[in-house]
Chain A
Amino acid sequence: MTRGLSLVALLCLVSLLSLTLGEVRMPLADLWQGLTTGEGPGAMTLRVLRGPRLATALGTGAVLGLSGAVFQSLLRNPLAAPDVMGFTAGSGLAVVAALVLGLVLPMPLIAAAGGIAAALVVAVVSWRPGARDNSLTLILVGLGTGFTATGLATFLGLTLGDTMAAEARRWIAGSLAARTWSHAGQVWGIGLILALALALQVRALGLLELGPDLASGLGLRVARARNMLLATAVLLAAAGVAVAGPVPFVALMAGPLGIGLTMARRPGTRLLYAAGAGAAITAGADLLARAAVPGVQLPVGVMTGLLGAPYLLWLLSREFGKGEA
């Protein structure tokens, strides 16, 4: 448990830096004054500017991290993540399509529908009779589905006018610009409900990691448990996409980072730390994206790409060294 403290410390550090750094430096004293008295520039920063953005970043990162950890555990492959496998791109495509068609539905519903549709497409297309372990086919088919969804979303984004085009770009590349408390409340609310649903399935996840034969021998209805877990993970990723777009590489990195920092072994604690690591990565990447270059606000998706791509390369070279994958 003491190792978990390093993750908590990282989260606190990233949060404090996110609130203080930016176009205008906000000293801790001003923030404290704003928090206690509700007045001054610190209060404005907390209530309107950086507070809601940070809360949305933490929530988005947490749900993406949880989702990635479930996929990686179920498919027993560190490359399996909703962003690599195109589910977040499917959610983004659904949101852009809804913008084009002028549908007035809650964002999370649209994103969830897109994510589930992408997951079904991947599952149906990569299904092969008699094949038992097809996680690599799943990953490749998912990658191609993601390419298709991103291409279609880019195309649909072009049919929108100039004012909407910037909004469409959020759902293609991922951005945390102009997020409010309602976005933060949305991702935290839906995220907590889904995290609760996941907590109820932690035992099943632990059994499934032992392999399908042993799990069914221990009394688990394997197919049903697997599908429930996969559905929960897809919905978690969609909850993140609904507020910040398909931010790439967070879900891929969060699980291994959380486990690497804390050495957690039990499935429940591993999920918890994956959520914490996802939150820290997203908030940290957003901080870098908006404060690293003075006068320029990069989308968070560009920064997670800069951080995540080297990680993916390192992962591939390490897997190769072990002679696996």
Chain B
Amino acid sequence: MGAVLRLWPVALLMLAAVALTLGVGVRDLSAGAIWRALTAWDPTDPAQVVLVEIRLPRLATGLVAGAALGLAGCVMQALTRNPLADPGLLGVNAGAAFAVVTGALIIGGSGAGLTAILAFPGAALAAAAVFLLGGGLRGEPGPVRLTLAGVAVSALLYSIVNALVLIRGDALEVFRFWVAGTLAQGLQKPLAEMGLVVLAGWLLTLWLAPLLELLALGRDLARGLGTNPLRVQGGALLAVTLLSGAGVAIAGPIAFLGLIVPPVTRRLAGGDLRRELMVAPFVGASILLLADGAGRLILAPAEVRVGVMTAILGGPVFVWIARSLRPGEAR
């Protein structure tokens, strides 16, 4: 029995996140009201309507998006062996948002339904581009090159998204969603479908975990042990695409969550990638929901988008990780 998976901190985090999401907001709900909504549904009680039509969809969005982006961060860090990897920082979220916005402009949809599917090819293209530009195939991409390649791809795609949004000023409110993420308005999103995609991505990452750990020992050794490095890398990129695409499709491009989750799961799971990936969805969901709750409390009654909150939280985490890299690692 090597590492023990410590579950109680995760359970506590989840409990706090769910309580904060359901209970706190423009209208505070008591535990009793929540209980009554579950046991004795009464559509004339405004508190119960708030809970079912606003808070529960918000909770579901946060659970799915947080799980997706947290998992995506863990897989990207395992794949690139770069502790600064994150789907937001490495441009994958930007690719998804860019594809959805361009698609919505061409097709003329509202950004729900059909155009949300475009998030997947967008995420896939951006992930592949950053991975190749960062030198992923030919060797280990160094953190500096990979991160800056991601910054450049993000900057390029967000500049285009910004320009498109400004040119089409009429749809500003709809498109602002694709520039900074939010968990609000969960009812209009393809939540169930994306939840299934995230589940598929999760299973894929759990299956890939031992192969990724093998690959981390070196490409030659992995090949010698009967693993095809290209296939493992391709599988990991597919998982990142599914997870980031689904997360962005329902919550918009939220950066930094994939950066914050892996250090936490590493401490909880003690260095075993599969165990890490087992807790990562719960850690990601609770951190995202807690950040969202803080964003609703901090300037109440106004609301700070959760993407802004994760950026404030994630910037210092980025600095802390960057500082702790050994000089030889910072290539």
List the interface of chain A (C-beta within 8 A of B): 79, 84, 125-126, 128, 131, 133-134, 136-137, 139-141, 143-145, 147-152, 154-155, 158-159, 173, 248-249, 293, 296, 298-299, 302-303, 305-306, 308-310, 312-313, 316-317, 319-320, 325
Contacts and interface: CB of A to CB of B under 8 A. Distances in A.
B245 to A, nearest CB: 22
A298 B159 CA distance: 10
Contacts of B158: 305
A262 to B, nearest CB: 25
A248 B327 contact: no
B153 interface: yes
Minimum-distance CB pairs A-B, first 6: A148-B315, A151-B311, A305-B159, A144-B318, A309-B156, A144-B319
Interface in B281-331: 299, 302, 304, 308-309, 311-312, 314-316, 318-319, 322-323, 325, 327, 330-331
Main secondary structure of the interface of B (DSSP, over half): helix
16 contacts: A79-B148, A128-B327, A134-B327, A140-B84, A141-B323, A143-B148, A150-B315, A152-B312, A158-B308, A296-B169, A298-B167, A306-B156, A306-B160, A309-B153, A313-B152, A319-B145
B70 to A, nearest CB: 18
B210 to A, nearest CB: 30
A7 to B, nearest CB: 25
B151 interface: yes
Nearest to A147: B315
A151 B312 contact: yes
Contact of A148 (B162, B302, B312): B312
A81 to B, nearest CB: 11
Given A131-B327, A319-B145, A158 B304 contact: yes
A137 B322 contact: yes
B247 to A, nearest CB: 19
B319 A125 contact: yes
| Chain B interface size range | 35 or more
A296 B147 contact: no
B143 A298 contact: no
Interface string B195-220: 00000000000000000000000000
A155 B312 contact: yes
B25 interface: no
Contact of B159 (A84, A296, A306): A306
Nearest to B142: A325
Main secondary structure of the interface of A (DSSP, over half): helix
Nearest to A310: B156
Contact of B311 (A133, A140, A154, A310): A154
B299 A296 contact: no
Nearest to A133: B327
Interface of B: 84, 133-135, 142-145, 147-149, 151-153, 155-156, 158-160, 162-163, 166-167, 169, 180, 256, 299, 302, 304, 308-309, 311-312, 314-316, 318-319, 322-323, 325, 327, 330-331
A315 to B, nearest CB: 9
B304 A155 contact: yes
Contacts of A248: 155
A134 B147 CA distance: 17
Nearest to A121: B319
Given A125-B319, A152-B312, A154-B308, A140 B152 contact: no
Contacts of A316: 133-134, 145, 148-149, 152
Contact of B163 (A151, A154, A249, A302): A302
Nearest to A289: B163
Given A134-B327, A302-B162, A316-B148, 10 more contacts: A131-B327, A139-B144, A143-B322, A144-B322, A148-B315, A154-B311, A158-B302, A298-B163, A302-B163, A325-B331
B329 to A, nearest CB: 9
A293 B168 CA distance: 11
Contacts of A298: 162-163, 166-167
B330 A147 contact: no
Nearest to A314: B152
Contacts of B167: 293, 296, 298
Contacts of B156: 305-306, 309-310, 313
